[in-house]
Chain A
C-alpha cells in the first residue's frame, strides 16, 4: 500500500542538515580531541589486538612475524597457567566482593542511624580509597607478613602459634590480598549504599515501625530490596574491575608469575608476563581477548539474572 509522501514526517533535507552543521560546527571542534584520541588510542589498538592474535610476534624481532591462525586461541584454551590464573582471581574476587560489600552495607546501615559524627566516620572510611595501591600494598605486606603487627597480635592472643609465611601457600595469598583490598575499597561501598539509604522514602520505615517490625526485619524487607540498584551497580563494577587485577600482586612483592607455584598469578599478570618476560605478544593479546570475553559473558549474565531494579 502506497501512502502519500506527505504522511511521513518530512525528512531533514540535505540543505537543512547542512545549515545546522554550518550553524553548530563548533560542536564538532569541541568534541574532536576526544574523537581523534579515541581513533588512535582506542579503536586502532582494538583492531590491532584482533590482528595480533593470529600471529607469533615479539618486540625484539618484529621482522619474523609468523601467521599461526587460531594457534594462540588453542594454546590459551589448553594453557593450564591461564586457567590457574582464572581460578585464582575468581577465588580472590568471591572473597573480596562478599567482604567489601558486606562490610560496606553494615557500616552504611550503622552510619544511617547516627546523626552526630556520621560525616567524620565517612571521611575516615574513605582514606584508603584515595591512597595508592602501591603504598597500601607495601603497608599491607608489612602488617600481614611474618613478624608484622597483625601476626604479632594474633600470636599474642593465641590464634597463631608461630609466624605464617602465607605468600608460599597455595590459596592463602589470594585470600589475604582480598582482605587487604577489602580494607582499601569498602569505603566506596559504604558511601554509595549510604547515599542509597538516604534516597529511600522515610515513610516506608515509619510505616513498618508502626506495624511493629523489628529493626532487623525492616533492614531485610525494606532497606535491602530498596538498595537493589546500588548493590547491582557495585557487583557489576566489582566484577569488571576485579577480574582485571594486576598492580596489587606486583606491589605486594610477587614476581610477574605470581610466585613459584603461581599461587598469586592473575590473568592480567599472566598476559603481562607473556608479553614482557617471554616476548609472546600475539599470545598475550589473545589472553587479553579471552579475559575480555569472560568479563563480557559474566556482565551479561548479571544483567540477565541478578535483580537490579526495584519491584
Chain B
C-alpha cells in the first residue's frame, strides 16, 4: 500500500475523514490535510509530500468561479501545474499530483478524487 496525501480547503471537506474511512468510502491510507484555503499552497509543499513518502498528492479546492476566496483555487491549480512540470523533469508520472474542484460541502468529488489517485499510485508502483 502507498500513502496518498490529500489537501483540501475548508469548504470542500465538510465530512470528517475518519467517518469516510470507517464507512469504507475512502482508502485507509489517504491522509487528509485541511487548509483554510488552497490558495496559500506553494510548489515546494507539494513536492515535499513526495519526499515524506507519499506516492501521490492531490488538492481539492472550490469550483473555479465559486471560490470562497475568489481566486484561491485558481492559484492552487497553477501551483499544481508547476509541480506536474517538475515531476516530468524528474522522470516521474505527472499524474501523481493533481488538482480537483468540488462544490461547497460536496463530498462525492473528494471521494472520487481519492479513489482515482489511489488507482494512479497503484499503477505507478506496478510500473516500477
Q: Do A and B bind each other?
A: no
Residues in chain B within 8 A of chain A (CB atoms): none
Residues in chain A within 8 A of chain B (CB atoms): none
